[in-house]
Chain A
Amino acid sequence: MGSFGKKIERFWEVFYKYNGYQRVLTGLRNTVYIAVLGLAIGIVIGTIIAIVEVFPKYKRLPRILNRICRLYVGLFRGTPIVVQLLVAYYVVLPLLGLNLPALHVCVIVFGLNSGAYVSEIMRSGILSVDPGQLEAARAVGLSYRVSMMKVVVPQAVKNILPTLGNEFIVLIKETSVVSFVGAADLYVAFNYIGTNSYEFMVPYLVMALIYLVMVMAIAFLVRIMERSLRKSDRSN
């Protein structure tokens, strides 16, 4: 136990006296930055893909668009996000001759990646609404677009919102791989502290705790949101 106390002491020294906490704060900020912006981009892309996928496919254009979307989703769900990051940073960027900071690349890749997952969330959310609802709206003479906007989508949102919260949790956790392309996240900060105090046990333990607290806080918010949505489901 004595050695553990010493380890904490050494961690505290680097964390506090040598400004390790500033790196931790930067890392935390980057983690949240990537996850939030990634989810925002993901929601935009996911919405577009979901619209294409649930749109009736009598004509050729929706069918072609649908193919493209399936390919996109297949591509981003079929490879690990680390691989996508590395490919984006070391293959795509040089090929395009672009020079972007690692953080921005991370935001884009996480956005594209979560777009694939969010599209599935939205698609299943829309499909889980009783088809009779759309039929009834069409039967009174509303167009497909108006029926979707006024009847189906508002009901789908109840299924979608809590699941989006879970997607956010997944994103927060997955950001721990961004150091592969040199973006400074929580792992980089605590790794720095570990290297400088020659001691890794406490830093990584604290890092785990921070992730855990973040995720639990979001999970709690999602739970509240879920409950309030259910409430409006029952009665007025």
Chain B
Amino acid sequence: MIEVIDLKKSYGSLEVLRGITITIKEGEKVAIIGPSGSGKSTLLRCLNCLEDPTSGSIIFEGVDIADMRVDINLYRRHMGMVFQQFNLFNNKTVLGNIMLAPVCIALHDLRVKKVKNLFIRIKNLFSRNKTPLYEITKTRQQIIDEARENAMRLLKRIGLEDKADAYPSTLSGGQKQRIAIVRALAMNPKVMLFDEPTSALDPEMVKEVLDLIRQLADEGMTMVIVTHEMGFAREVATRVLFMDEGRIVEENTPQELFSNPQHPRTKEFLSKVL
């Protein structure tokens, strides 16, 4: 599903990623672990081009999205991203946060179709073989209503439907992060990227967020998780990558990697954190 080929990223003279090649198949749950500054987060942020790779390619659904000519917005819709700092939109209510992207994008598509139809109609006036119009199935209001319904369904799922009209500043960290996850889900992504989703949380809120991620994993969502929660990586991941100094040093199933690390750097790291 995602294929990363010789990905390199540097900031000025600082090389953060020094040639990463990985393949992520559908349904896989890949955990990326490693010491701070090893390039884990940068790798994850390169996957949806929040950081533009310096070189290399990222093939997502057969398209190289690292190519600057590709309209990245189309592909980002299918990649949900969850940030360490939640990044809920502060100027929107919880419901507004979840609905913003689906509504904006659907309405934009609707407008584009209408404009195109207008041109087709004009063209049809003058030509004998009529071009068919783009089909418009939903009105503006229907799109909004549907998005609201979907958002409420997602909120109900995490038990926060009573917070629909609250602003993010009134929520706890755990609530914010669960809403951030649900906001990403509202786009029906094919893959979810988690960038240290529990690192900014109070210890007592970590569990509720991990439980939600675990649920998603059980439902078969493809995911890539950068995490410091070794226990969680071991339990949920189907594959663990250990990164150090911009390279993938070791990759294996969690059982193998945690109980029987091969590379000396992995051994050293695991002996410190476990």
Q: Which residues of A approach B to under 8 Å, CB–CB?
A: 58, 130, 132-133, 135-143, 146, 150-151, 154-155, 233-236
Other contacts beyond A136-B81, A140-B77: 15, CB < 8 A: A130-B85, A130-B87, A133-B89, A133-B90, A136-B88, A137-B89, A139-B83, A141-B76, A150-B104, A151-B89, A234-B169, A234-B170, A235-B166, A235-B169, A235-B170
- B165 on interface, CB distance cutoff 8 Å: yes
Q: B247: shortest Cβ distance to chain A, in Å?
A: 25
Q: A155: shortest Cβ distance to chain B, in Å?
A: 5
Q: A129: shortest Cβ distance to chain B, in Å?
A: 9
Would you call A133 and B77 a contact (CB within 8 A)?
no
Interface size of B as a range: 20 to 34
Q: How far is the CA of A151 from the CA of B170 in the complex (A)?
A: 18
Q: How far is the CA of A227 from the CA of B101 in the complex (A)?
A: 30
Instruction: Name the contact of B104 in the complex, choosing from A58, A146, A154, A234 (C-beta under 8 A).
Output: A146
Question: Which 5 pairs of residues, A with B, have the shortest CB-CB distance?
Answer: A141-B77, A136-B87, A140-B101, A139-B81, A132-B87
Residues of B within 8 A of A234 (CB): 169-170
Q: How far is the CA of A136 from the CA of B77 in the complex (A)?
A: 12
- B147 on interface, CB distance cutoff 8 Å: no
Q: Which of B80, B81, B88 has the most CB of A within 10 A?
A: B81
Q: List 13 A-B contacts (CB under 8 A).
A: A139-B76, A141-B73, A141-B105, A142-B100, A142-B105, A150-B89, A150-B100, A151-B91, A155-B90, A233-B169, A234-B169, A236-B167, A236-B170
Would you call B87 and A135 a contact (CB within 8 A)?
yes
Instruction: Name the contact of A136 in the complex, choosing from B83, B91, B166, B170 (C-beta under 8 A).
Output: B83
Would you call B91 and A142 a contact (CB within 8 A)?
no
